[in-house]
Amino acid sequence: MRASLYSLLFISLILSSCLLSVNPLITYKNIERFPSALGSWTDNEGTRFTIEMFFGSSTEMEGLTAKNNKVQSKEKRLAGMAPEERKTMQAAQLISYTSNNLKHEMILSFSRINNDWFAQLTPLRVYKPGNQFYDKQNGIVRDTSTKDYPMEKSGYSFYRVESTTNELKFIPVNDDFLLDLITKGWAAIPYEKDELFETSLITASPEILVKFFEKYGNDSRLFDKSSTLVLKRNLK
Amino acid sequence: MKKIKFASVVFILLIMSGCGLLTLHPIFSPDDLVFKTELLGKWKAEGSVLQIEPATSISANEIPVPLRSYNKRFYVLRQMESDGTEKRRSLAFLVKIGPYYFIDLYPIETQESAAVDVFFKENQYKLHQVTRIAIASGKLYWQDFQDNYVEELIKNKQVRIKYTRINEIYSEEDDTNLLITAGTKELQAFLSKYGSKEEAFNAVNKSNTYIKISGL
């Protein structure tokens, strides 16, 4: 427990400065497969992360089996999807870790922009394993340990990715540099700032975000290396 | 609800679109705040209980820094199931616009959400929920905006209010997912115009008519 709390604190410290976007940078239009991220990983403080394909994961399967539907083969399910969904399903990944006995799951997506790899994270759900139940009215799996918080929405955070076979680095965007670009009018990125509640949000469309990363994605000033999340592959 | 299956699997996140009027910015500036002591106490309706206390009853750390010096002018609200289970905690800001009172709710931690990892939470953003209230004959009427009322006005070009479209990873852009980004003045002008339209709000019923069951 102590280690878990410590790692929780560590994660919060190293990745606390993300300026969120309400829109994704990576969509079905530019999502790409990144198989080298798949596997079991540990960060410097001992937190274990699992990265798997979202399609076929237990999380995706829960949604299907809970409905008491006969689950079709992956191939059949893919064939029945809209092209946008199919492309997303074939590339989107699920990253999960446990903290405070709660399993945290986020959708992880990758894309290459000007030959550099970028990652995008967005929260999916938090739950206490074993507490899920099927909500017939909404056709979804819910969890007794997490409530609906309609006033809290999932945003997107973006990272530059560096990887070797056994190491994966997520380098977050440097908020100070990005805000500087925006407030000085050097980058036309729509964003909202609420002084009273001290919140800032990027509201640019995915198309604008892609153009921005095409222009600044290889500028080292845009990324905060000191806050890099370094994952080491767990070797069997 | 989105038609494609990915959405049905990305469950909890996407069913939140219909929750009355949600805005990115508050509907008030500190000078607009109204404090009515008759709101304080515990209120019960069919299926839920509200507990309203002054914001001075919570730690200053739970209040955004620019608002801390005004903590005698707003509330902290606990929304509970009828069995007493805490559902949500919010900072609650009362504003009078025209003849009507509106509450701006801004979420703060519950005991349950406090266990969620910080990194996960920092990838979420908070919105304000706007509700019209009235107190009459010892009853508190709590009327949320009809789900998607404003979004429909926008789609039908019946209102001009600042918003942005929210895209999903897996689908073409559509008009079903809008985020109201209007600033405080614009929101107040909207409420001034639409606050009197009964069709904008959920009808009064047993689940949104509260009776005070105890004082503070």
Give residue-wise pLDDT tens across range B94-133.
Answer: 999 999 999 999 999 988 888 889 889 989 999 999 999 9
Find chain A residues with C-beta within 8 A of B125's C-beta: 20, 22, 152-153, 155, 199, 201
Mean pLDDT to the nearest integer, A48-69: 81
Mean pLDDT to the nearest integer, A172-197: 93
| pLDDT at A140 > cutoff 70 | no
Retrieve residue A69's tokens. 């539907």
For residue A116, the cross-strand partners are A113
Q: Which candidate from B5, B118, B126 shows the least CB-CB separation from A81?
A: B5
Closest to B171 in 3D by CA, of B1, B7, B8, B17: B7
If pLDDT is split at 50, 70 and 90, which confidence band does A74 have? confident
Percent of chain A clearing pLDDT 70 (strictly above): 80
Give how far B191 is from chain A: nearest CA, Å: 19
Mean pLDDT to the nearest integer, A130-139: 63
Q: Which candidate from A31, A85, A194 shows the least CB-CB separation from B24?
A: A194
Three-class HEC string of chain B: CCCCHHHHHCHHHHCCCCCCEEECCCCCCHHHECCCHHHCEEEEECCEEEEEEEHHHCCHHHCCHHHHHHCCCCEEEEEEECCCCEEEEEEEEEEEECCEEEEEEEEECCCCHHHCCHHHHCCEEECEEEEEEEEECCEEEEEEECCCHHHHHHHCCCCCCCEEECCCCCCCCCCCCEEECCCHHHHHHHHHHHCCCHHHECCCCCCCEEEEEECC
Find chain B residues with C-beta within 8 A of A198's C-beta: 64-66
If pLDDT is split at 50, 70 and 90, which confidence band does B163 have? very high
| pLDDT at A139 > cutoff 70 | no
Average pLDDT, chain B: 88
pLDDT higher for A116 or B16? A116
Q: Tell me the pLDDT tens digit for each residue of B49-58.
A: 999 999 999 9
Q: Which of B12, B108, B122, B165 is best to mutate for the A interface (most A CBs within 10 A)?
A: B12
The pLDDT assigned to B167 comes to 87
Q: Which candidate from A125, A148, A197 shows the least CB-CB separation from B16?
A: A148
Count CB-CB contacts under 10 A for residue B191: 21
CA distances from B181 to A156, B72, B142 (A): 17, 28, 24
pTM (2 d.p.): 0.88
Q: Indicate the residue type of B179.
A: L
Percent of chain B clearing pLDDT 90 (strictly above): 71
The pLDDT assigned to B170 comes to 85
Q: Tell me the pLDDT tens digit for each residue of A16-39.
A: 446 899 999 999 999 999 999 999
Pairwise CA distance, residues A23 & A218, whole Å:
21
Q: Beta strand A116-127 with A157-164: parallel, antiparallel or unpaired?
A: antiparallel
Number of cross-chain residue pairs from A and B with Cβ atoms under 8 Å apart:
199
Pairwise CA distance, residues A145 & A225, whole Å:
36
The pLDDT assigned to A171 comes to 97
DSSP code at position A206: H
What does residue A188 show for φ and ψ, rounded to 5 degrees?
-85, 70
B6–A195: do the CB atoms touch at under 8 Å?
Answer: no
Give how far B54 is from chain A: nearest CA, Å: 18
Retrieve residue A106's tokens. 């986020």
Residue of A nearest to B114 (CA): A100
Q: Which candidate from A11, A23, A196 shows the least CB-CB separation from B118?
A: A11
Pairwise CA distance, residues A142 & A152, whole Å:
16
Residue of B nearest to A141 (CA): B11
Q: Tell me the pLDDT tens digit for each residue of A202-219.
A: 999 999 999 999 999 999
The pLDDT assigned to B1 comes to 32
The pLDDT assigned to A90 comes to 94
What does residue B146 show for φ and ψ, rounded to 5 degrees?
-60, 140
What does residue B10 show for φ and ψ, rounded to 5 degrees?
-80, 65
Count CB-CB contacts under 10 A for residue A123: 25
H helices within A80-154, ranges in order? Answer: 83-89
Mean pLDDT to the nearest integer, B47-76: 96
pLDDT higher for B28 or B171? B28
Retrieve residue B117's tokens. 């990892």
Pairwise CA distance, residues B133 & A116, whole Å:
52
B12–A31: do the CB atoms touch at under 8 Å?
Answer: no
B120–A20: do the CB atoms touch at under 8 Å?
Answer: no
If pLDDT is split at 50, 70 and 90, which confidence band does B86 have? confident
Mean pLDDT to the nearest integer, A35-49: 95
Q: Beta strand B139-144 with B41-45: parallel, antiparallel or unpaired?
A: unpaired
| pLDDT at B4 > cutoff 60 | no
Mean pLDDT to the nearest integer, B11-25: 63
